[in-house]
Structure 1
Amino acid sequence: MGGVNAAPDYVREVSIGEYPSGTVTDQTKQGGIISIYYLGALFGCFLGGWAGDRIGRINGLFFSAIFALVGGALQAATQGATFILVARVITGVGTGALTAITPVYIAETSRADHRGSFLGYVFIANYLGISVAYWISFGLAFVDDGLSAVRWRFLLAFQCFPAIILLCGIKLLPDSPRYLASVGRYEEAREVLEHVRGSADERVQREFKEICAVSEEATRTSPAEFIKVLCGLDKSRAPHLGRRAWLCIWLQVMASWTGVTAVTAYSPVLLSQAGYSSIKQNGLAGGLNTIGIVGTIISAQIVDRLG
Structure 2
Amino acid sequence: MDVSKDTTQTPAPATAVPDDAPPTVKRRLRVITLIATFGGLLFGYDTGVINGALPYMTEDLGLTPFTEGMVTSSLLLGAALGAVTGGRLSDGRGRRRTILTLAVLFFIGALGCTLAPNTAIMVVARFVLGLAVGGASVTVPVYLAEVSPAERRGALVTRNELMIVSGQLLAFTSNAIIARVGGESGGVWRWMLVIATIPAVVLWFGMLVMPESPRWLASQSRFNEALDVLKQVRSQQRAEAELAEVSALAVKDEQEKLGGWQDMKSTPWVRKLMFVGFGIAIVQQITGVNTIMYYGTQILTDAGFTADSALTANIANGVISVLATFVGIWLLGRVARRPMLMAGQMGTTAALLLIGVFSLALPSGDGRAYAVLAMTVTFLAFQQGAISPVTWLMLSEIFPMRMRGFGMGVAAVVLWLTNFVIGLVFPSLVDGIGISNTFFLFVLAGLFSLAFVKLYVPETKGRTLETLEAELKARYS
The structure-2 alpha-carbon separation of the partners of 1:100 and 1:300, relative to structure 1 and needing over 3 Å to count, comes to same
Select the residue among 263, 266, 270 that pairs with 1:233.
Answer: 266
* 1:144 Cα offset (Å): 4.2
1:4 partnered with 2:53: yes
For the 8 Å contact 2:60–2:186, the answer to whether it is kept is no
Q: Name the counterpart of 1:40.
A: 78
Select the residue among 288, 293, 302 that pairs with 1:273.
Answer: 302
For residues 162 and 145 of structure 1, the distance between their equivalents in structure 2, rounded to whole angstroms, comes to 26
For residues 282 and 212 of structure 1, the distance between their equivalents in structure 2, rounded to whole angstroms, comes to 52
TM-superposition CA deviations, 1:18-68 (whole Å, max 9, x none): xxxxxxxx2121111111111111110111111111211111000111111
For residues 72 and 64 of structure 1, the distance between their equivalents in structure 2, rounded to whole angstroms, comes to 12
Number of aligned residues:
284
* 1:3 Cα offset (Å): 0.8
Select the residue among 279, 282, 299 that pairs with 1:253.
Answer: 282
Q: Name the counterpart of 2:201.
A: 164
For residues 56 and 171 of structure 1, the distance between their equivalents in structure 2, rounded to whole angstroms, comes to 13
Any gaps of 5 or more consecutive residues in structure 2?
A: 1-49, 337-477
Select the residue among 211, 222, 226 that pairs with 1:174.
Answer: 211
1:117 partnered with 2:166: no
For residues 255 and 191 of structure 1, the distance between their equivalents in structure 2, rounded to whole angstroms, comes to 37
* 1:188 Cα offset (Å): 1.4
For residues 298 and 133 of structure 1, the distance between their equivalents in structure 2, rounded to whole angstroms, comes to 21
For residues 154 and 95 of structure 1, the distance between their equivalents in structure 2, rounded to whole angstroms, comes to 20
Q: Name the counterpart of 1:13.
A: 60
Amino acid at match of 2:216: Y
Amino acid at match of 1:161: I
SS state at 2:69 partner: helix
For the 8 Å contact 1:120–1:297, the answer to whether it is kept is no
The structure-2 alpha-carbon separation of the partners of 1:220 and 1:92, relative to structure 1 and needing over 3 Å to count, comes to farther
For residues 120 and 181 of structure 2, the distance between their equivalents in structure 1, rounded to whole angstroms, comes to 27
The structure-2 alpha-carbon separation of the partners of 1:249 and 1:146, relative to structure 1 and needing over 3 Å to count, comes to farther
Amino acid at match of 2:242: E
Q: Name the counterpart of 2:12.
A: none
For residues 59 and 243 of structure 1, the distance between their equivalents in structure 2, rounded to whole angstroms, comes to 30
For residues 182 and 312 of structure 2, the distance between their equivalents in structure 1, rounded to whole angstroms, comes to 17
* 1:233 Cα offset (Å): 3.4
* 1:221 Cα offset (Å): 4.0
The structure-2 alpha-carbon separation of the partners of 1:146 and 1:267, relative to structure 1 and needing over 3 Å to count, comes to farther
SS state at 2:62 partner: coil
Amino acid at match of 2:245: E
For the 8 Å contact 1:115–1:304, the answer to whether it is kept is no
- TM-score, normalisation: structure 2: 0.57
Q: Name the counterpart of 1:64.
A: 102
Please give the root-mean-square deviation of Cα atoms over the aligned residues, in Å.
1.6
For residues 292 and 185 of structure 2, the distance between their equivalents in structure 1, rounded to whole angstroms, comes to 23
For the 8 Å contact 2:218–2:246, the answer to whether it is kept is yes
Amino acid at match of 1:154: W
For residues 293 and 200 of structure 1, the distance between their equivalents in structure 2, rounded to whole angstroms, comes to 35
- TM-score, normalisation: structure 1: 0.88
* 1:220 Cα offset (Å): 6.7
Q: Name the counterpart of 2:407.
A: none
Any gaps of 5 or more consecutive residues in structure 1?
A: 17-25
The structure-2 alpha-carbon separation of the partners of 1:144 and 1:98, relative to structure 1 and needing over 3 Å to count, comes to closer
- For 1:197-208, list aligned pairs within 5 A: 197=234, 199-201=235-237, 203-208=238-243
* 1:209 Cα offset (Å): 0.7
The structure-2 alpha-carbon separation of the partners of 1:190 and 1:112, relative to structure 1 and needing over 3 Å to count, comes to same
- For 1:102-113, list aligned pairs within 5 A: 102-113=140-151
- Counting aligned pairs with the same residue, the percent is 24
For the 8 Å contact 1:75–1:88, the answer to whether it is kept is yes
Q: Name the counterpart of 1:210.
A: 245
1:290 partnered with 2:319: yes
Amino acid at match of 1:172: V
For residues 183 and 83 of structure 2, the distance between their equivalents in structure 1, rounded to whole angstroms, comes to 39
The structure-2 alpha-carbon separation of the partners of 1:144 and 1:192, relative to structure 1 and needing over 3 Å to count, comes to closer
For residues 289 and 104 of structure 1, the distance between their equivalents in structure 2, rounded to whole angstroms, comes to 25
Amino acid at match of 2:213: S
Amino acid at match of 1:5: L
SS state at 1:148 partner: coil
SS state at 2:287 partner: helix
For the 8 Å contact 1:177–1:193, the answer to whether it is kept is yes
Q: Name the counterpart of 2:291.
A: 262
- For 1:131-146, list aligned pairs within 5 A: 131-146=169-184
Q: Name the counterpart of 2:129.
A: 91
